[in-house]
A and B are shown apart, each in its own frame.
Chain A
Amino acid sequence: AQKVTQAQTEISVVEKEDVTLDCVYETRDTTYYLFWYKQPPSGELVFLIRRNSFDEQNEISGRYSWNFQKSTSSFNFTITASQVVDSAVYFCALQDYKLSFGAGTTVTVRA
């Protein structure tokens, strides 16, 4: 069974601070994909990033970066120089074909 754990329930920061969201996953699959989605107050889930299990290279995309460590089954996500518009619930998800989501981390960025 697939399982995703986001230990942080809420994070509150002041604008321009960096925010790192933790994600730990469990799977018996050898090939899988990991995702981060953002859910703003409007409710729509917005795709942010995707990483496949056979590529552990960490990347940066604009203000987003991620750290994938297969050895510890972790897929952490960082927002650099946070902005008020980053305030949302962030979900980590594991995919075989369907997505298994964590419980989400609510990020509040204060001006």
Chain B
Amino acid sequence: GAGVSQTPSNKVTEKGKYVELRCDPISGHTALYWYRQSLGQGPEFLIYFQGTGAADDSGLPNDRFFAVRPEGSVSTLKIQRTERGDSAVYLCASSLAPGGVENIQYFGAGTRLSVL
């Protein structure tokens, strides 16, 4: 596809449930990022992949959050035992490279997660 694709666009779940959010980056982009945006705030970094490996997961709030990118393309953000405070828009971005002139991050439309 031409841009970063995120599915689902909206996810409503109940407290305590498990959810998976999917990100399909721009073809050829080796770097992939997850951010979380709460209402009225700027996006906050969660995790960054270079290829298949998580190069920096320092933004994950706790061990209920986990992300994978097994083949270096599609990534899945997984949240266990969801809490109401997890409600936010989860944004995925990709770039050709993490640094240098190829570091422009292009974002998907996000997944709006609502935990009831």
Nearest CB to that of A31 among chain B residues? B99
Among A4, A43, A47, A103, contact of B41 (Cβ-Cβ < 8 Å): A103
Task: Give the residue of B31, B40, B107 whose beta carbon is less than 8 angstroms from that of A97.
Answer: B31
Is the pair B110, A99 in contact by a Cβ cutoff of 8 Å? no
**A103 (CB) vs chain B CBs: closest residue:** B42
Interface of A (DSSP majority class):
strand
Interface residue B105 (Cβ < 8 Å from any Cβ of A): yes
Q: A residues within 8 A CB of B91? A: 45
A93 partner residues in chain B, CB cutoff 8 A: 42
Chain B residues touching A, range: 20 to 34
A100 to B42, CA, bound (A): 9
CB of B77, distance to nearest CB on chain A (Å): 15
Complex Cα gap A3–B55 (Å): 21
Size bin of chain A's contact surface: 20 to 34
B25 at the interface (CB under 8 A from A): no
In A71-111, the 8 Å CB interface with B consists of 91, 93, 95-104
Which stretch of B11-19, B43-51, B61-69, B78-86 is in the interface?
Answer: B43-51
Which residues of A are found within 8 Å of B112, using beta-carbon distances?
Answer: 43
Decide if B42 touches A104 in the complex (CB within 8 Å): yes
Q: With contacts A44-B107, A47-B106 known, what are 14 further pairs, Cβ within 8 A?
A: A35-B104, A43-B89, A43-B110, A44-B110, A45-B43, A45-B91, A47-B105, A50-B104, A96-B99, A97-B55, A99-B35, A99-B43, A99-B93, A101-B42
Interface residues of B (CB under 8 A from A): 31, 33, 35, 40-45, 48, 55-56, 59, 89, 91, 93, 98-99, 103-110, 112
Give 15 pairs: A residue, B residue, CB < 8 Å, sorted on A: A4-B42, A35-B104, A44-B107, A44-B108, A46-B107, A47-B106, A97-B55, A98-B33, A98-B45, A98-B59, A99-B33, A99-B35, A102-B42, A103-B41, A104-B41
Q: State the A residues within 8 Å of B (CB).
A: 4, 33, 35, 37, 42-47, 50, 91, 93, 95-104
